[in-house]
């Protein structure tokens, strides 16, 4: 199983970033330009996400952990037989660190998913401009 771990430092507080990450139905606010639309299902357990490249995916919300400032989601379909990911906000004193993890199958899809995650992290940086 391929595993991807990425992170970016932000000058925004962990609480500021967490409030946006925890709003799991409003991904365009967290990753502007990377996700163009997200709709949370009525029960709050899944969301339909449309990416800027036109790909639409249904993601199951596994966990929204307010204490750990961590969201976990899962999706499968298309080229992926398994995809589990998480995003977590860690306090780093003068700002925070945004950590994005993904585990997926097949392994051959890792480079494409890693590229998408890099685009997503760039969007997070646009949402919370780094002023350090």
- What is the helix (H) or strand (E) element at residue 41, kind and residue range? none
Task: Find the mean pLDDT for residues 80-100.
Answer: 95
In a domain, 105, yes or no: yes
pLDDT in tens, 2-32: 999 999 999 999 999 999 999 999 999 999 9
Average pLDDT of the chain to the nearest whole number: 94
User: Cα(92)–Cα(129) distance, rounded to whole angstroms?
Assistant: 16
- Measured between alpha carbons, how far is residue 10 from residues 16, 68, 73 in Å? 11, 17, 22
CATH of the domain at 109: 3.30.530.20
Q: How many Å apart are CA 37 and CA 40, to the nearest integer?
A: 10
Model confidence, pTM: 0.93
pLDDT per residue as tens digits for the range 77-88: 778 899 999 999
- The pLDDT of 91-107, averaged and rounded, is 94
User: Cα(1)–Cα(37) distance, rounded to whole angstroms?
Assistant: 29
Residue 77: the pLDDT is 75
pLDDT at position 106 is 93
Residue 61 has pLDDT above 70, yes or no: yes
pLDDT of residue 78: 77
Boundaries of domain holding 79: 2-127
Residue 132 lies in a domain: no
Q: Is the pLDDT of residue 132 over 50?
A: no
Domain count for the chain: 1
């Amino acid at each position: 199983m391929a595993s991807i771990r990425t992170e970016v430092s932000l000058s925004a507080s962990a609480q500021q970033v967490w409030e946006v990450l925890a709003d799991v139905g409003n991904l365009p606010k967290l990753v502007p330009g990377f996700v163009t639309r997200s709709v949370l299902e009525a029960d709050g357990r899944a969301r339909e996400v449309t990416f800027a490249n036109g790909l639409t995916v249904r993601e199951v919300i596994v966990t929204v952990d307010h204490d750990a400032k961590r969201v976990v989601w899962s999706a499968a379909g298309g080229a992926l037989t398994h995809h589990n990911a998480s995003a977590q906000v860690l306090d780093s004193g003068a700002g925070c660190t945004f950590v994005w993890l993904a585990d997926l199958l097949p392994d051959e899809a890792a480079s494409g998913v890693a590229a998408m995650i890099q685009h997503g992290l760039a969007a997070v940086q646009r949402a919370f401009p780094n002023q350090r």
